[in-house]
């Protein structure tokens, strides 16, 4: 639902439109005057020299002329028009020209000369100067009305919200109950500050929300704006930074000045800075020896949050997914007293989020949100919202009156692997190899006791490069993995390559993604988790960036010897080869089941978990 903007925002937008209109008018006026001057100064294409004119006149080629001052225009007997200028002063034509014209029987018309010099001077000089003068006069009026910064560049673009504007409340936030309790305390303080003041407690001056993209940081801020009965200022970190020196710092000052003015009539004010890492990065790494515009803006922000002047009633709420790059002075108590990590939701939290997003949708009786929550590990709030929307779109496309479980299942495939490429033609030989590849993944996953359950197998092309996939989902939320579980996962990943070797006797490029992921897991086992007997309990790697962003693991070779690096490579290779060999042995022992599963995939293309169990009848084959 769209709500009208505040009057202050409307006024600001109106002034911006007026400013752009005047600028365009000034530019257009100057452009038109330049064109007029250009056309006036350009000679006409039929202009001839005076000598040529006299020669043609003497030869009797001129039919008629019109004389206006020193300008002569006429027509030749051939019908061609011409123009020329007399070599005498204006108003005093050549005395020998009139007898010659009469002698040659040329029709002559005299016209009075019009003096346009004053008009053109006014157009070319006075009018542009007048426009420039009016522009600067308008600019000075804006400076007097809005501060000392020209064109109001120093005015903060923060928008002000109130309780009536934001319709989002804490009821719309689900799956992160612990985080919600933390921020609810801020709202409670603003409603009843005496409850805390009588015990000597002080509300945190700053609260930093840290989490992966899509976990609900901005949604929490919108809920606070909808719950708290105080002014709520919202701004992005990038809005502070400008190309002009000093503008960012001026905007910070203006923002806090406006916030402090609001505290005169309210218990407090909340200032929300989204993506604060755009302005709060560590100092000393900028261009110009640490004196660039962004760092000056950060210095002003630090001073306003906790400087010489006390700032008791302005609460700063900020959000970022890059807390590792923020300046240490910004994170210290007194500025951001409380740092709240907004984690991805667990299974119970995902179910609560699905209930929120499915509230306005027509669900069929077979839809099980608890089962959907189990089948979407790693999904954050934004992913689950997108999942519900995709399911609704699919149901509408299929002309259904309700959203069924099949629509949600297909939406999960769409979100994970991409859209189905129905027009993608695959040769029968390649399709057979893909079927055996995915069957190898699934069969090894079923035979490994510590592997996650197989949920779905598909050889339908999806996305950019996925020709098929095998989806394994744990029964419960896992936060710790044992060495045996990781080895089982590695063996399942290499099952596709092993199946191609067992059946076809050669290799293909289809295992590229499997090899990349399995090598990464093996590397972490050796250098981070201490799961190598030769290396021992050592952690030799480091994360290249924020852990929430899933950055690559890198080895710092300067911290250990080349011999140790060589041992690390050997251990990674040993783990990969051991799992690969185990996958080949399992598939060689059950090649009949592998063939049965691959043929079924070629027939139906998609096999669900219950169909897989019926097809393989594996309980008797599971290792003890």
The active-site residue out of 262, 275, 304, 438 is 438
Q: What is the CA radius of gyration of the chain?
A: 39
Q: Which residue has the tokens 């744990």?
A: 474
- Report the distance separating Cα 542 and Cα 551, nearest Å: 10
- Report the distance separating Cα 170 and Cα 230, nearest Å: 16
**232 half-sphere exposure, CB direction, 13 A CA radius:** 25
Element (H, E) at 439: helix 428-447
Q: Among 435, 390, 432, which Cα is nearest to 412's?
A: 390
The answer to whether the beta carbons of residues 163 and 226 sit under 8 Å apart is: yes
CA distances from 144 to 133, 251, 547 (A): 17, 17, 49
Please give the full DSSP string across 161-179, using - where no structure is assigned: E-TTT----GGG--S-HHH
Maximum C-alpha span of the chain:
130
- Report the distance separating Cα 405 and Cα 371, nearest Å: 10
Annotation marks residue 438 as catalytic: yes
- Report the distance separating Cα 222 and Cα 585, nearest Å: 56
The answer to whether the beta carbons of residues 61 and 100 sit under 8 Å apart is: no
The 3-state DSSP class for residue 129 equals: helix
Q: What share of the chain is helix, strand, coil (3-state, %, to 5)?
A: 50, 15, 35
Q: How does DSSP classify residue 5? A: P
Q: Which residue has the tokens 């290249």?
A: 544
As a three-state string, the secondary structure of 63-85 is: EEEEEECCEEEEEECCCCEEEEE
The answer to whether the beta carbons of residues 445 and 452 sit under 8 Å apart is: yes
The 3-state DSSP class for residue 40 equals: helix
Element (H, E) at 373: helix 369-374
The residues, ordered by sequence, that sit 6+ positions from 98 with a Cβ below 8 Å of its Cβ are: 108
- Active-site residues: which are they? 438
């Amino acid at each position: 639902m769209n709500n009208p903007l505040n009057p202050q925002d409307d006024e600001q937008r109106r002034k911006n439109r007026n400013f752009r209109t005047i600028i365009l008018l000034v530019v257009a006026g100057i452009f038109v005057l330049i064109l007029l001057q250009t056309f006036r100064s350009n000679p006409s294409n039929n202009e001839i020299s005076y000598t040529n004119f006299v020669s043609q006149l003497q030869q009797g080629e001129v039919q008629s002329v019109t004389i206006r001052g020193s300008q002569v225009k006429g027509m030749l007997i051939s019908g061609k028009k011409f123009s020329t200028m007399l070599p005498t002063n204006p108003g005093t034509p050549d005395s020998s020209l009139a007898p010659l014209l009469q002698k040659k029987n040329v029709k002559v018309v005299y016209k009075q000369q019009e003096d346009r010099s004053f008009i053109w001077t006014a157009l070319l000089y006075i009018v542009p100067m007048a426009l420039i003068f009016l522009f600067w006069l308008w600019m000075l009026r804006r400076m007097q009305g809005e501060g000392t910064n020209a064109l109001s560049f120093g005015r903060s673009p923060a928008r002000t919200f109130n309780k009536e504007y934001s319709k989002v409340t804490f009821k719309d936030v689900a799956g992160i109950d612990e985080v919600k309790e933390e921020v609810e305390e801020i709202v409670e303080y603003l409603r009843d500050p005496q409850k805390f003041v009588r015990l000597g407690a002080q509300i945190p001056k700053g609260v930093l929300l840290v989490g992966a993209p899509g976990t609900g940081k901005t949604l929490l801020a919108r809920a606070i704006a909808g719950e708290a009965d105080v002014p709520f200022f919202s701004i992005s970190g990038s809005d502070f930074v400008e190309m002009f020196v000093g503008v960012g710092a001026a905007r910070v000052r203006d923002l806090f000045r406006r916030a402090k003015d609001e505290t005169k009539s309210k218990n407090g004010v909340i200032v929300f800075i989204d993506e604060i890492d755009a302005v709060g990065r560590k100092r000393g790494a900028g261009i110009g020896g640490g004196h660039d515009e962004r760092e000056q803006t950060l210095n002003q922000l630090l001073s306003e949050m906790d400087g010489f002047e006390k700032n008791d009633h302005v609460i700063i709420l900020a959000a970022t997914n890059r807390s590792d790059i923020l300046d240490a002075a910004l994170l210290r108590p007194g500025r951001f007293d409380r740092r709240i990590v907004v984690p991805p939701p667990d299974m119970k939290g995902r179910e609560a989020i699905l209930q929120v997003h499915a509230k306005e949708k027509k669900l069929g009786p077979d839809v099980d949100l608890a089962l959907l929550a189990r089948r979407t590990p790693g999904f954050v709030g934004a992913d689950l919202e997108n999942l519900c929307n995709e399911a609704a779109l699919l149901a509408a496309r299929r002309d259904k009156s309700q959203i069924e479980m099949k629509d949600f299942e297909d939406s999960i495939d769409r979100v994970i692997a991409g859209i189905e490429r129905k027009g993608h033609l695959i040769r029968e030989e390649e399709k057979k190899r893909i079927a055996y590849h995915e069957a190898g993944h699934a069969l090894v996953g079923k035979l490994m006791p510590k592997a996650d359950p197989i949920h779905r197998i598909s050889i339908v092309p999806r996305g950019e490069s996925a020709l098929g996939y095998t989806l394994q989902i744990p029964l419960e939320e896992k936060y710790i993995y044992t060495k045996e579980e990781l080895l089982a996962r590695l063996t399942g990943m290499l099952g596709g390559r092993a199946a191609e070797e067992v059946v076809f006797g050669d290799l293909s490029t289809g295992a590229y993604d499997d090899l990349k992921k399995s090598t990464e897991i093996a590397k972490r086992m050796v250098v981070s988790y201490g799961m190598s007997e030769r290396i021992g309990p050592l952690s030799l790697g480091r994360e290249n960036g924020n852990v929430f962003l899933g950055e690559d693991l890198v080895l710092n070779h300067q911290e250990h010897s080349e011999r140790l690096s060589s041992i690390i490579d050997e251990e990674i290779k040993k783990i990969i080869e051991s799992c690969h060999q185990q996958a080949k042995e399992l598939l060689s022992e059950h090649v009949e089941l592998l063939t049965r599963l691959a043929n079924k995939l070629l027939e139906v293309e998609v096999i669900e978990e219950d169909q897989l169990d019926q097809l393989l009848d594996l309980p008797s084959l599971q290792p003890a």
